[in-house]
Amino acid sequence: MREKPRILLTGASGYIGGRLLPKLEADGYRVRCLARKPEFLQQRVGSDTEVLQGDCLQASTLDPAMEGVDTAYYLVHSMGSSGDFEDLDIAAATNFGAAAKKSGVRRIIYLGGLGQEDEDLSAHLRSRHATGKTLRDCGVPVIELRASIVLGSGSLSFELIRALVERLPLMICPRWVQVRAQPIAIEDLIAYLVAALHLIGETSRVFEIGGADQVSYADIMRDYARQRGLRRMFLPVPVLTPRLSSLWLGLTTPVYARVGRKLIEGVRNPTIVSNNDALSEFDIHPMSLSDAISRAMQNEDQDFAVTRWSDAISSAGYSRSWGGAKFGSRLVDSRTVEVSASVDEAFDPIRRLGGECGWYYATWLWRIRGFLNLLVGGVGMRRGRRDPEELQPGDALDFWRVEAFEPDRRLRLAAEMKLPGRAWLEYEVQPIQDGSEIRQTAVFDPVGLAGLLYWYGIFPLHKLIFEGTMREIARRAEEQ
Per-residue confidence (pLDDT) for residue 374, from 0 to 100 = 67
**Whether residue 300 is found in the same domain as residue 331:** no
Q: Which residue, 246, 280, 314, sits at the end of a domain?
A: 314
Per-residue confidence (pLDDT) for residue 372, from 0 to 100 = 72
Which H/E stretch holds residue 34? strand 30-35
* Range(s) of the domain holding residue 374: 325-478
Per-residue confidence (pLDDT) for residue 167, from 0 to 100 = 74
Q: Is residue 66 part of a domain?
A: yes
**Whether residue 289 is found in the same domain as residue 413:** no
**Whether residue 215 is found in the same domain as residue 332:** no
**Whether residue 265 is found in the same domain as residue 375:** no
Name residues whose C-beta falls within 8 Å of residue 60's C-beta, 6 or more positions apart in sequence. none
Beta bridge partners of 35: 53
Smallest CA-to-CA distance from 211 within 175, 160, 159, 158 is with 158
Q: Is residue 166 part of a domain?
A: yes
**Whether residue 102 is found in the same domain as residue 134:** yes
**Whether residue 298 is found in the same domain as residue 331:** no
Tally of domains in the chain: 2
Gap between the terminal Cα atoms of the chain: 51
β-pairing verdict for 205-208 and 325-327? unpaired
Beta bridge partners of 413: 402, 425
Per-residue confidence (pLDDT) for residue 252, from 0 to 100 = 56
Which H/E stretch holds residue 159? helix 156-167
**Whether residue 348 is found in the same domain as residue 436:** yes
Q: Is residue 133 part of a domain?
A: yes
Which H/E stretch holds residue 75? none
Q: Is residue 1 part of a domain?
A: no
**Whether residue 367 is found in the same domain as residue 309:** no
**Whether residue 271 is found in the same domain as residue 417:** no
Quick count: other Cβ atoms within 10 Å of Cβ 186?
Answer: 24
Ramachandran area for residue 162 (φ above 0: left; ψ -120 to 50: alpha; else beta): alpha
Per-residue confidence (pLDDT) for residue 319, from 0 to 100 = 39
Smallest CA-to-CA distance from 310 within 440, 87, 156 is with 156
> Is the CA virtual torsion 255, 258, 261, 263 positive or negative?
negative
Q: Which residue, 262, 284, 314, sits at the end of a domain?
A: 314
**Whether residue 275 is found in the same domain as residue 367:** no
Q: Is residue 86 part of a domain?
A: yes
Per-residue confidence (pLDDT) for residue 480, from 0 to 100 = 74
Question: How many Å separate Cα 41 from the centre of its chain?
Answer: 13
**Whether residue 202 is found in the same domain as residue 330:** no
Question: Rounded to an integer, what distance in angstroms lies between the CA atom of residue 470 and that of residue 450?
Answer: 28
β-pairing verdict for 6-10 and 30-35? parallel
Quick count: other Cβ atoms within 10 Å of Cβ 320?
Answer: 10
Q: 447 near 420, Cβ under 8 Å?
A: yes
**pTM, 2 dp:** 0.69
**Whether residue 266 is found in the same domain as residue 329:** no
Smallest CA-to-CA distance from 180 within 219, 206, 207, 147 is with 219
Q: What is the SS3 assignment for 5? A: coil
Per-residue confidence (pLDDT) for residue 258, from 0 to 100 = 46
Beta bridge partners of 325: 332
Per-residue confidence (pLDDT) for residue 361, from 0 to 100 = 86
Q: 331 near 318, Cβ under 8 Å?
A: no
Helices of type H across 38-154: 62-66, 85-103, 123-137
Looking up residue 470, the CATH number of its domain turns out to be 3.30.530.20
Which H/E stretch holds residue 459? helix 448-478
Q: Which amino acid is at 26?
A: A
Question: How many Å separate Cα 323 from the centre of its chain?
Answer: 20
Which H/E stretch holds residue 208? strand 205-208
Looking up residue 186, the CATH number of its domain turns out to be 3.40.50.720
Q: Is residue 319 part of a domain?
A: no
Q: Is residue 121 part of a domain?
A: yes
Q: Which residue, 314, 344, 367, sits at the end of a domain?
A: 314
CA angle 466–409–396, rounded 5-degree value: 65
Per-residue confidence (pLDDT) for residue 52, from 0 to 100 = 95
Per-residue confidence (pLDDT) for residue 451, from 0 to 100 = 81
Question: How many Å separate Cα 62 from the centre of its chain?
Answer: 25
CA angle 82–304–286, rounded 5-degree value: 85
In Å, how far are 42, 230, 258, 337, 414 from 314, measured between CA atoms? 18, 34, 12, 24, 30
Name residues whose C-beta falls within 8 Å of residue 11's C-beta, 6 or more positions apart in sequence. 17, 73, 74, 75, 76, 312
Residues of the chain with pLDDT under 50: 1, 82, 256-258, 303, 305-322
Q: Is residue 346 part of a domain?
A: yes
Q: 41 near 51, Cβ under 8 Å?
A: yes
